[in-house]
Each structure stands twice: as C-alpha cells, then as structure tokens.
Amino acid sequence: MLTVYSDSHRLQHGQSELIDGTLKPCFETPSRADMVLAAVRERELGDIIHPRRHGLDPILRVHDADYARFLETAWQRWSDMGRDYDALPKMWQVRRLREAIPDHVEGQLCYYSMDCGTPITAGTWAAATAAADTALTGADRLIGGERAVFALTRPPGHHAAFDYCGGYCFLNNAAIAAQALRDRGMRKVAVLDVDYHHGNGTQDIFYRRADVLFLSIHGDPRTEYPFFLGFADEKGEGEGLGYNFNFPLSAGSCVSTWFVALDCALDQIARFGAEALVVSLGVDTYRGDPISRFQLDSPDFVTLGARLAGLKLPTLFCLEGGYAVGPIGTNVVNVLAGFEARG
C-alpha cells in the first residue's frame, strides 16, 4: 500500500494542553507520526511518497474562508504582542453571549476554538496545510487507480469543523479528501470514523448532505470527549437526513461489542452504494491508550483492516488519534496490513 507522508508535521509541536484541570504536556506529539512511519518502513508496507501542494481551494471547499484566514495569521498576530508561547483560548462563546467575531486575535482564538487542548504555534498553519496536502495526494492516487492509500496525516483532522478547531485538529483532512473525491467525479463517498472520540468536525461539515455518508464508532458523549455531539439520534438534517450514523459505545466496551458496531456501519456503507471510502483511522481504541477507554488489542486491528477490505472499495486511510505512542505504529500498520491481506 502506498503511503503519503510529509515531514512538515514536525512544525506542529504544542507544549501544553489543559486536561484534567491542569496544563500538561500535549499527548499529540511529533513522535506519534515518527513511530507510524518507522513501522511502515519496518513492515515494508509499500512505497512512501511526499505530497504535492494543492493550494487553498480544496480546503475552502469544506472550511470557512474567515476561519482559514484566522489559522494562517493567528501566530503572527499572537507573537506580535510579544508572546513566544503557545496560543490557547481563555473563554468560549457560549449560550446567550453575542455571536460576533472579535477583532482582536485573542478574541478570535476563543471564537474559533472548541477546547483548550489545541495550541496554535509558529508552525501550525504549515503543518496543517501539509497534512491536508497529504490527504489530497492520497485522493489523487485513488482517482488514478490505486486500490488503497495511507495518508499519514498529522496534525489529525476529524474534530475540525467548518469554522472551528479542537481536539488537536485544525483542518479536517478526511473531509477535505472526501470532498476532493466528489469533485473529481465520485458520486457517493462514505467517511467512516473509527477513532475513540466522535468525529464531530466531519459530522458538522457533511450533516446536511446526501452525497457523503458519515459514520462514527466512538465513546458515548455522555461521558467522553467531545461531549456535545455523537449521539445516536443525530441522523442528519434536510437533504442529509438519514446519511449520518453514530454508534456511541459505553466506556470500557469489549472488543466483540465494538465489532458489532463496525458490522452495522459496514452494512450501511454497502446500502449507501459508496464509490469510495475514507477512513478516519484513530487507534486510540487500543486498550492501553492513556486518554481512551476501549479494549481493542493489537491483533484486533488486523481484523479491522480485513473487515474494511471486505467492502471492496477504493479506500483512503487518514491518520487520526492514538496516544499510546509505543504501539501506535504496530496498531496502525496492522490495520493496513489486514486490509492488504484480505485482497
């Protein structure tokens, strides 16, 4: 399987996030991608290529232009105030506060962020656009006839919505790629999110559309991040009604329960008649993940890959979460190897 990788991911290296009521070193670090790349090479998964640049146009197909402009300029405006540390919000536009976009960068940071765990740094924009290019290059290769491509995207993307960042995510790589596949002639595209945390950003982007089916298997938002989306009764709106499927599972759910949800999702994809599949590949469903609570073990990721291959669709994998850094490479490559072995 072809892998697309950009070393520019290293430019995003946040120093701290607010978690458990205190500032701690970020769980989302460059070492995650390093470990995955090392496993791809060690297991001889296939060729590794660099992405080509695609510019802003495909990003703006799924993201608000003002939001993209904020991301592009935020660090310069932040550092112009003499601040050489990560930019994090200090409040949010919540119920009954006026919904207005402030002029000041600090106010915009609060407006365009959904949490205090997604630091903007000097390299955020370059890293995020390189990740989007990585996903787009993978989509290019699917259009060109590849059966499957792995886009080693970092920073991840599935929490980034039309006009806000969060959950370590700035640009929604999977959504950008899915839209590119549509724009290149695929009539129906499915996006399956297997990360422990609900893909709220992807749901937000496609919630009112019938041409992109979104499905997510994740920890129940009654107890798990991102808390405010990911419930089973969220089915889509308008033309998108019936094209959004959430499978929230209780924290600690066993492997067999998780695979029952996967089979339900795969059945919906088959019924939809998708012409291509984008997988938001988070492996924080691993039993040893420090910020997640499912029970999958490394061999189970081989099974996941084989089940996905059973759909017999052109498939693009975009890396999302997974914070047990030691086994992340094994777990990711197990999915890809399981997919390849199924043939």
- For the annotated catalytic residues, the residue numbers are 159
Q: What CA–CA distance (Å, rounded) separates 142 from 144?
A: 5
E-strand ranges in the chain read 2-4, 17-19, 22-24, 48-49, 148-151, 189-193, 212-219, 244-249, 276-281, 315-319
d(CA 119, CA 86): 6
Q: How far apart are CA 289 and CA 92, in angstroms?
A: 29
For 328, the token pair is 């992340």
| Helix, strand, coil percentages for the chain (3-state, nearest 5) | 40, 15, 45
107 by Cβ neighbours in 10 Å (0-12 / 13-18 / 19+) ranks as middle
CA–CA dist 183, 219 (Å, integer): 32
- The two beta strands, 22-24 and 17-19, are antiparallel
Task: Tally the residues of the chain.
Answer: 343
Classify residue 147 by burial, with Cβ atoms within 10 Å: 0-12, 13-18, 19+. middle
For tokens 């995510």, name the residue.
169
As given in the structure block, the two tokens for residue 319 are 């890396």
For residue 95, with 0-12 CB atoms within 10 Å meaning exposed, 13-18 middle and 19 or more buried, which class applies? exposed
Name the DSSP class of 113: B
Tokens 């660099």 correspond to: 50
DSSP alpha helix (H) spans, 10-123: 30-42, 57-60, 65-79, 105-111
